[in-house]
Amino acid sequence: MKNKQIYIGLTSLVIGILYFLYQYDINIFHKIIDYWPIFILISGIFLQIVSVSNRDFKILFILSGMLIIYGIMYTIDMYKEFYYFSTHIAIFFLSLSLGLLNYYVFINKNNILLYFILMLTLVSIFIFTFPIYERYFPIISFKTVAPLLLMLLGFVLILNGFINKE
């Protein structure tokens, strides 16, 4: 109970300070808001520490992994802007994969979950490089590749189900 009170108090204190700076239009607030991805990264690291120290909050493992990836990728985006929407989709898949990997390592070592993590990571890498494929190979489009990837995922899962059944 004390830990919960401390976390709520810290959150309230930070929100109050930021609100105060915003109300009086102190110039520091505008400089702080430019670096918003760093705050996401810090909150992801903080959630990781909390979830490792207290394993009762299992969902925090997934959330902390996602926040860490979002923080890192959007900090990179501040300096080298992402021009394609597909990059943001890839960041989502990569963050979900790291969150699930975090859950796999600390909570549940399930092989099916590991296959899903690997598939999400591969899809994320493919989507990151997708604008390059579209530029040099115009026959490849998202309308063609997305259903093929879903069919490949279904085939792998069905094949895995038959292998595990025997």
Tens digits of pLDDT across the chain (166 residues) = 566 666 777 777 788 877 777 777 666 666 667 777 888 888 888 888 877 777 677 777 778 888 888 888 888 777 777 666 667 788 888 888 888 888 888 877 878 888 888 888 888 888 777 776 666 666 666 667 777 777 887 887 787 777 776 5
Residues in Cβ contact with 100 at an 8 Å cutoff, skipping those fewer than 6 apart: 62, 65, 113, 116, 117, 120
**pTM assigned to the model:** 0.56
Cα(89)–Cα(119) distance, rounded to whole angstroms?
Answer: 15
